[in-house]
């Protein structure tokens, strides 16, 4: 197969400039970003799934190192971080945040 990976994630925003700055300031993701090689999950979910908010069609999942330090930094910046013991297990550890426009973001430490 010629596909080598995900080349981008594009989504609409009410204020693209401000939202782009939020992602860069809090997650270190700029318009152009070099990723570290590793696993990527590409998974459709049933329409009725409660894995992420029903009013959203997508959830961005970011593979991270040092989840605890990232969570602390986000909380220090006033960003609500959701952790649930049942999310952590054989696939790794997880935390959830939402960007200023309510888009869900899952932080995953394999």
Average pLDDT, the chain: 93
Per domain, the residue ranges of the chain are: 58-110
Residue 72, φ and ψ in degrees, nearest 5 = -60, -45
Span 58-110 CATH architecture = Roll (3.10)
66: left (phi over 0), alpha (psi -120 to 50) or beta: left
Q: Is 57 exposed, middle or buried (0-12, 13-18, 19+ CB in 10 A)?
A: exposed
Q: What is the pLDDT of residues 32-56, one digit of tens each?
A: 988 899 989 999 999 999 999 999 9
Question: pTM of the full predicted structure?
Answer: 0.91
Return the pLDDT at 4.
80
């Amino acid at each position: 197969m010629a596909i080598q990976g995900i080349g981008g994630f594009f989504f609409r925003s009410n204020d693209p400039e401000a939202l782009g700055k939020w992602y860069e300031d809090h997650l270190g993701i700029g318009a152009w970003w070099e990723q570290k090689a590793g696993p990527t999950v590409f998974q459709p979910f049933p329409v009725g799934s409660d894995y992420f908010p029903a009013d959203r069609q997508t959830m961005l999942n970011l593979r991270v190192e040092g989840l605890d330090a990232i969570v602390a930094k986000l909380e220090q910046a006033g960003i609500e971080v959701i952790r649930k013991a049942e999310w952590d297990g054989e696939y790794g550890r997880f935390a959830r945040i939402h960007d200023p426009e309510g888009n869900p973001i899952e932080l995953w430490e394999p």
